[in-house]
């Protein structure tokens, strides 16, 4: 099933991704001994909160047509689809404990975080392609840049761990 998301729906997904990301970083901090990595993850968790707020703010500024459905949805299933999309593609809720059990040291935690951030970037680029309207695509581009910055910071820290 292919959906053309409107910008408002994409920002709903972004909010869920940021919430899931925050939870991942908060849980990861509990199993990492390295104080520098713990500080990085605490900062990234806080940035996820800030990104969530930013995305909610941007969503409020969208023009009314950005919230119009791009698909026929008589049973109002789009919100459920948005939730499943966020949970199953990026920062998967149900697998936190299993994934965190794989964390053996700071490098493995960083590697896992980079994987999640890379998945976020790929996911949002995919959603951007499926989104109608130039304005919506532009907003999603901003979202991608935010996630790329997380990946950059994690990559730099990973290189320092060698």
Structure-model confidence comparison of residues 64 and 111, the more confident one: 111
Query: What's the pTM?
Result: 0.76
The topology (CATH level 3) of 7-160 is Ferritin (1.20.1260)
Q: Which long-range contacts does 84-91 make (Cβ < 8 Å, 24+ apart)?
A: 85/13, 86/13, 86/16, 86/17, 86/20, 87/16, 87/20, 89/119, 89/123, 90/17, 90/20, 90/21, 90/116, 90/119, 90/120, 90/123, 91/17, 91/20, 91/21, 91/23, 91/24, 91/116, 91/120
Give mean pLDDT, residues 23-36: 88
87-119 tens-digit pLDDT: 665 566 566 667 777 878 888 889 989 988 888
% pLDDT > 70, the chain = 72
Residue 52 has pLDDT above 60, yes or no: yes
Q: Could you state, in order of their start, the residue ranges of all structural domains in the chain?
A: 7-160
CA distances for 136 relative to 19, 21, 59, angstroms:
21, 22, 10
């Amino acid at each position: 099933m292919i959906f053309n998301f409107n910008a408002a729906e994409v920002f709903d997904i972004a909010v869920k991704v940021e919430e899931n990301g925050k939870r991942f970083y908060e849980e990861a901090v509990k199993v990492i001994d390295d104080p520098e990595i713990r500080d990085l993850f605490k900062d990234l968790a806080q940035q996820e909160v800030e990104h969530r707020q930013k995305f909610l703010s941007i969503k409020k500024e969208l023009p009314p047509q950005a919230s119009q459905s791009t698909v026929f949805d008589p049973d109002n299933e789009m919100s459920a689809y948005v939730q499943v999309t966020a949970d199953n593609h990026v920062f998967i809720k149900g697998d936190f404990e299993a994934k965190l059990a794989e964390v053996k040291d700071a490098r493995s935690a960083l590697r896992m975080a980079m994987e999640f951030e890379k998945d976020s970037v790929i996911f949002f680029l995919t959603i951007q392609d499926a989104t109608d309207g130039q304005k919506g695509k532009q907003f999603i581009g901003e979202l991608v840049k935010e996630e790329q910055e997380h990946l950059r910071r994690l990559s730099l820290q990973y290189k320092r761990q060698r």
